[in-house]
Structure 1
Amino acid sequence: MTKTQTDTPTQITCSVHCQGYDWGPANLKIVIDFGQVIDEQVDASFFEVLGEKEGFDWSTKMPKQIKGKIELKEAYLSDSTGQKQPVNLPTTFVTLALQVHPDAPLTSPFVFNPQLFLNQKRQTMHTITLKKPLCINGSSLNELVLTNQQFEETIYEGTEQFLQKEFLYVDAEFGEITLHHALFAPNTKGKHPLIILLHGAGEGGTDPEIALLGNKVVAWADPEVQAMFGGAYLLVPQVPDMWMNDGSGGYTQDGTSKYTRAVSRLIDETV
């Protein structure tokens, strides 16, 4: 006979895994560590996920709170990274694979800031409810509600391959300019091409991970893409606002940029 466990085990933790898509970043899975071996297979019927976050209404150009249910594609036993675990191997992890879409703001780790006209990191506040008993370590866990108190981190997949740094340039016309940037180096010897990837209008700021995920830049570091070049360096500069700022603070009308000399020097020093 299994024991009944009604209190939430204190050792349960969660992590959110985010990935860049062609249309932007999304939280594709939540990995739950129950801290004890799970005694049965699971599926999406075991869990419900609700979300709430700050958003932006393009019709009114105003911030708004967004809340609702996040649909699950599936749920399964996994390892700590969210990879499916073979049936015969014990594990303490369950992964919830989320339905993602460009028009699903609750699975986006970004929110648009209309004052800055930039995307910024704003993670969803998740509430995960166990909908039916789950057998764990010989006991039946009948009730469970996980909130952001149990969430440890967001893992931005692929960004760990890039070195993130700052570059200070003193421009004769515009003074000190700081460019944050990310750099990927191939793990092969000899000469290799350097690819410079410039972000879009909404990916400026001081966090290169926004530039890496907003345009799926991390895909350039994938082995199959790297193989096409025989290995390539990737430089991802990030300006504080937008590339087409001519120094006036707004979008230039003639195509000039106050950052031209700074990014040129950054490229030279990277080489």
Structure 2
Amino acid sequence: MSANRPELSAFLRAMRSRVQPHDVDLPAAGRRRTPGLRRQEVAQLAAVSIDWYIRLEQGRVGVPGTAVLDAVAGALCLSEAERHHLHLIARGEAPPARHVPAPASDSLRRVLAGLPATPAWILDFRFDVLAHNEAATALFGPGFTVGTNTAEPLFLDPGTRAFQLDWDRIAREHVGNLRANLTRHPDDPRLRALIDHLRRASPDFAAWWDDHTVQERINGTKRVMHPTAGIMTLRYDVLAVQDGSDQRLQVITAADAPSEEALRSLIYPPSRLRVAN
């Protein structure tokens, strides 16, 4: 490892210098003495402490975990080849293969196809999105795509937290569900890496995880603040498929007439209706 420390330091500095704040949706405030991101910005994007990242860049953190290295790789916008190189020089071994979610079950896809006007999506037990309809994209935005994880932004993204007006309750439900899911899948490396990452990066997640809450999220009502449609009160239902895949269909419906009107305005905006006519 000591022979790779100079290479690790040089590589991280070089990768940091090529990423501009606007590349990762950060404001470019103030003059910069050197090009690229500041160390503090990389730490923020990777959800690690600035002290830890400085020590990583100086080669003084021992052998970092694979999940946190992947978080740094994501913050620095590394390609797959660059991610592979980072793991080799920081850990002395190749990184694990990137997780590819299993396909959504046929039965849930059929249900999803029959709900064009209702936001619906399919998750696995890791909260990875396996499939979704256009109505879900209209509600959550273009960043809601297959392969993304819904638990991470809930705890780590301020915009997602602001969207959920009942954040404390919804977030605790996610923690309880992840604990229940880990009981059923104790040897799943992707699930364990996700939980470990959230425990390090989110004090709220860590506190609620340590109180051993176990919960199966089935249905409920929540309020959201949509950037264009405003406040909506929505019902959510979680339907499990009984085929051994441990996948869930999540469906959103409006809880009152104003929310129904606002939700329909997102799914069927006036511009789309004009084109259709």
Under a length normalisation based on structure 2, what TM-score does the superposition of the two structures give? 0.31
The structure with the largest helix share of the pair is 2
The structure with the largest strand share of the pair is 1
User: Which is greater in Rg?
Assistant: 1
Larger RCO: Structure 1 or Structure 2 (Cα < 8 Å, ≥ 6 residues apart)?
A: 1
Under a length normalisation based on structure 1, what TM-score does the superposition of the two structures give? 0.31
